Structure 1
Amino acid sequence: MNKRNLDAKRIVIKIGTSSLLYQDTSKLNLRSIERLAFVLSDLKNQGKEVVLVSSGAIGVGMGRLGLSKRPDTIPAQQAVASVGQGELLGIYEREFQHYGKSVAQMLLTRDVLVYPQSKKNVFNAFQELLKMNVIPIVNENDTVSVDELDHKTKFGDNDQLSAIVANLIDADLLIMLSDIDGFYSGNPLSNPSAELYHTITNIDGSIIQAAGGVGTKFGTGGMVTKLKAAKRILKNHQKMILANGKNPRIIYNILAGDPVGTLFEPFLNQKKLSRKKD
């Protein structure tokens, strides 16, 4: 299969909770975080601009507090997220420091990107951090983002947030790392004949129908939320790749143009939809 031509300098990388935690023990996957820090630091050394959108605050908080089940009430979720966010950022800071890189925490709510002035302020903050050679680490501010608030503060999931950030800073590419190899025609866990799509240029009814289910007990995402993010990316004439984040070094393969994962890109002079061939 031909190499992809991505030519990406400004990159948003979203990593899901499932890539940060061991599902059996609910503890941090330190090897995965170490590899992620290594790869992103190396990308910075290559002259690329990198923004990391990281899930995991509630999952890390659950592990820290010894909880086996995600809390049901919003106040409890806020409390657990507060515990987890601090620990998660501390680990990121230590790992990136090994490679001489500085990180900055950015906790966002939807309302700051709705109002023009606050949106401009967020954009300016991103621009300055990237100029300073800092890696922004973005998460939703779970301690204040709740559905019940009168103004719309909640993004709903970090898949959507990563696409919004990519739109805001006009990124060349959004890399979404999850616990699945890409987008399939069905659930590969229950349907062995499900096919992995190599490229998707339009999200129509058949694509939406193929998506289903929710994320892990630690996260809020699922394939539907990833499609919503991809739809936003396509609408803004940008590119997104959904790939397996078990080993973050897959980012090297993606940027080298290797045909891994599923590429969502606007329709050009190509077939509307192509499937990966074995």
Structure 2
Amino acid sequence: MQNKRELHAERIVIKIGTSTLIHNNSQPNMHVIQSLANVLSTLKKAGKEVVLVSSGAIGVGMGVLGLDERPFKISKQQAVAAIGQTELIQLYNQALQKNDMVAAQILMTKDVINFPESHTNVMNTFQELLQVPNAIPIINENDSMTVSEMDHHTKFGDNDQLSAIVSNLINADLLVMLSDIDGFYNGNPKKSATVKYDTVHAIDEEIIAAAGGHGSKFGTGGMTTKLKAAKMILKHHQQMILADGKDPDIILNILAGENIGTLFSDI
């Protein structure tokens, strides 16, 4: 029997991805949304400070508009995101209201973080919201305003990295990254026999090699951005857990110290 993890997490950021929130037909997964709202509410009522970083605006927008494929043109993606974001926050709000909670939406662009005055303003907003007893801050990148070309100064790059940046900003104790994979493996678990890491203490040569090596920029697909986020978390001496998000109740098990997913920690 494995020992329980010692997690002292009072301020928690939870990140959930599009593939967990949205069915293949672009319809929202209401079971996941309601379950997540229940968990967030339970933690808040228990005295925890919680922030949700949620993807899904474009996915939900595609469902609202009846689109089968994601638009290629950037301006059309931004329009779909604008439509989807309002629907997504409504779904969260309806789910949270069943627990006497409300959603507090914050849409961010990278320049907000980079300019001192706007940085101070967003920090003040976070600090005030975290003290509101029935409010759950829900963060997304402002996709309708950012430009999607690589390295544009208004864009974070992805919500994995945004969740790490938010964790750094508010000095969170723990980032729980809910994904469609149940941890970090020494290879592709869908293609070969692999071993899951229980704990990763540094994004070193061994971890980079396990993800595919330097040539792949930390590997391919979603693991690239997750390792970049983990690197930011470790740099600030924080902790992150990568776990399967299909049942958000897993968050409660994680906080109870169960050995779930992969823990990234320099301790």
Amino acid at match of 2:174: L
CA offset digits 1:127-166 (Å, max 9, x no partner): 0011112211000000111145996100010000000000
Match of 2:118 in 1: 118
In the TM superposition, residue 116 of structure 1 has moved relative to its aligned partner by 1.6
In the TM superposition, residue 7 of structure 1 has moved relative to its aligned partner by 1.1
Amino acid at match of 1:36: L
Query: How do 1:77-226 residues align onto structure 2 when only pairs under 5 Å count?
Result: 77-133=77-133, 134-147=135-148, 152-191=153-192, 193-211=193-211, 212-214=219-221, 222-226=222-226
In the alignment, the residues of structure 2 paired with residue 149 and residue 242 of structure 1 have an alpha-carbon distance, to the nearest angstrom, of 25
CA offset digits 1:204-253 (Å, max 9, x no partner): 12312333332xxxxxxx11000000000000000000000000000011
Q: What is the SS of the residue equivalent to 2:79?
A: helix
In the TM superposition, residue 260 of structure 1 has moved relative to its aligned partner by 0.3
Amino acid at match of 1:250: I
Match of 1:17 in 2: 18
In the alignment, the residues of structure 2 paired with residue 118 and residue 231 of structure 1 have an alpha-carbon distance, to the nearest angstrom, of 25
- Structure 2, gaps ≥5 residues long: 212-218
RMSD of Structure 2 on Structure 1 (CA): 1.3
Amino acid at match of 2:220: G
* 4+ runs deviating over 6 angstroms: none
Whether the 8 Å CA contact 2:150–2:157 is kept in 1: the answer is no
Q: What is the SS of the residue equivalent to 2:31?
A: helix
Whether the 8 Å CA contact 1:182–1:197 is kept in 2: the answer is yes
Q: What is the SS of the residue equivalent to 2:105?
A: strand
In the alignment, the residues of structure 2 paired with residue 230 and residue 162 of structure 1 have an alpha-carbon distance, to the nearest angstrom, of 10
In the alignment, the residues of structure 1 paired with residue 210 and residue 142 of structure 2 have an alpha-carbon distance, to the nearest angstrom, of 31
Whether the 8 Å CA contact 1:208–1:224 is kept in 2: the answer is no
- Percent of pairs with identical residues: 62
- Structure 1, gaps ≥5 residues long: 215-221, 269-278
In the alignment, the residues of structure 2 paired with residue 34 and residue 2 of structure 1 have an alpha-carbon distance, to the nearest angstrom, of 31
Amino acid at match of 1:72: F
Give TM-score, length-normalised by structure 1.
0.90
Match of 1:254 in 2: 254
Whether the 8 Å CA contact 1:240–1:263 is kept in 2: the answer is yes
Amino acid at match of 1:10: R
In the alignment, the residues of structure 1 paired with residue 35 and residue 12 of structure 2 have an alpha-carbon distance, to the nearest angstrom, of 17
Match of 2:215 in 1: none
In the alignment, the residues of structure 2 paired with residue 263 and residue 250 of structure 1 have an alpha-carbon distance, to the nearest angstrom, of 14
In the alignment, the residues of structure 1 paired with residue 261 and residue 199 of structure 2 have an alpha-carbon distance, to the nearest angstrom, of 9
Whether the 8 Å CA contact 1:111–1:151 is kept in 2: the answer is no
Amino acid at match of 2:265: E
Whether the 8 Å CA contact 1:60–1:84 is kept in 2: the answer is yes
Q: What is the SS of the residue equivalent to 1:197?
A: coil
Give TM-score, length-normalised by structure 2.
0.94
In the alignment, the residues of structure 2 paired with residue 237 and residue 85 of structure 1 have an alpha-carbon distance, to the nearest angstrom, of 32
Cα distance change on mapping 1:242 and 1:117 into 2, 3 Å? same
